[in-house]
Chain A
Amino acid sequence: DTAVSQTPKYLVTQMGNDKSIKCEQNLGHDTMYWYKQDSKKFLKIMFSYNNKELIINETVPNRFSPKSPDKAHLNLHINSLELGDSAVYFCASSPLAGGPKETQYFGPGTRLLVL
C-alpha cells in the first residue's frame, strides 16, 4: 500500500507553461505539506494544510497555488513556469497538526525540469 503518492513522478516542460502536481495520502492524516528540494539537496517548506485549511505559507511566488479539496489530497499548481522552478517537489503528511514531535511521511517526489 502506498502511504503518500505523487503524480507525475517526472515532469519536463517549457518555460512559461502551467503545470499541476497531485498528492494523495491514505494514512488518515490531518496535515499535508509541500516541500521543494533544490539541486543542492536543500529541502524547504512551501505550504502546509491542516484539514483543508492553509496554515503555513512560506515566501513562495504567487505563481504557486496549493489546493486541498479534502484532507487526503493536496495539489500544487504552478503558473508561468521559470527555469528556477526546476527541482524535486515532495509532498508529505503528518497525523495531527504538525507539531514538533510528529513524524512527517514523505512521498516519492516529483522531478520537475523546466527547459
Chain B
Amino acid sequence: TQLLEQSPQFLSIQEGENLTVYCNSSSVFSSLQWYRQEPGEGPVLLVTVVTGGEVKKLKRLTFQFGDARKDSSLHITAAQPGDTGLYLCAGSSNDYKLSFGAGTTVTVRA
C-alpha cells in the first residue's frame, strides 16, 4: 500500500490570506491528483499532475508535482470562504489504484 501523508491536518485562516497544503510519500507515482470534498458530498477532482516538476494553475490555486514525483503541494492565494473544504491528494501508479491521503480540512473565515 502506497502511503500519502498530508499536512497540516487542519488549517483555519482569514479570508484574503494564502495557504499551502502538502502531500508527501516515499513512493513514486505516475500521477497525482487533488480533490476537494465539501460536507455531505463526494470528492471532486481539481487537477491531475503527471510530470515531475510540473506546475499547474487553476485561478487562485497553484499545484506543484515534485521533481521525483513523490510529493505535491497545493497553494491557494487570497483564500475565500468558498475555498472551505477537505482537500485530498491521491496518487496512482501502474496498478490503476488511487491511494488517498488522509486529507487537510481547510476553513476560511469571512
A residues whose Cβ falls under 8 Å from a Cβ of B: 4, 40-45, 48, 55-56, 90, 92, 97-101, 103-109
Chain B: interface residue total (CB-CB under 8 A): 27
Query: Which chain A residue has the least Cβ–Cβ distance from B92?
Result: A100
Instruction: Choose one: A56, A100, A101, A109; the contact of B42 (CB below 8 Å).
Output: A109
| Contact (Cβ within 8 A) B100 A42 | yes
Instruction: Choose one: B31, B44, B88; the contact of A100 (CB below 8 Å).
Output: B31
Contacts of A43 in B (CB 8 A): 43, 88, 90, 100, 103
Q: Is the interface of A mostly helix, strand, loop or mixed?
A: loop
CB<8 Å pairs between A and B, sample of 20: A41-B37, A41-B105, A42-B100, A43-B88, A43-B90, A43-B103, A44-B100, A45-B99, A48-B97, A90-B42, A99-B92, A100-B31, A100-B50, A100-B93, A100-B94, A101-B48, A101-B50, A104-B45, A104-B98, A106-B42
Contacts of B93 in A (CB 8 A): 100
Question: What is the CA–CA distance of A99 and B105 in the complex, to the nearest angstrom?
Answer: 27
| Contact (Cβ within 8 A) A103 B42 | no
Query: Which chain A residue has the least Cβ–Cβ distance from B95?
Result: A56
B86 within 8 A of A: yes
Contacts of B43 in A (CB 8 A): 43, 90, 106
- The residue in B86, B90, B93, B100 that gathers the most chain A C-beta atoms within 10 A of its C-beta is B100
| Contact (Cβ within 8 A) A41 B103 | yes
Contacts of B62 in A (CB 8 A): none
Shortest B29–chain A CB gap in Å is 8
| Given A45-B97, A100-B94, residue A4 in contact with residue B42 (CB < 8 A) | yes
Shortest B96–chain A CB gap in Å is 5
Question: What is the CA–CA distance of A4 and B41 in the complex, to the nearest angstrom?
Answer: 11
- The residue in A43, A56, A97, A98 that gathers the most chain B C-beta atoms within 10 A of its C-beta is A43
Query: Which chain A residue has the least Cβ–Cβ distance from B100?
Result: A43
Shortest B102–chain A CB gap in Å is 5
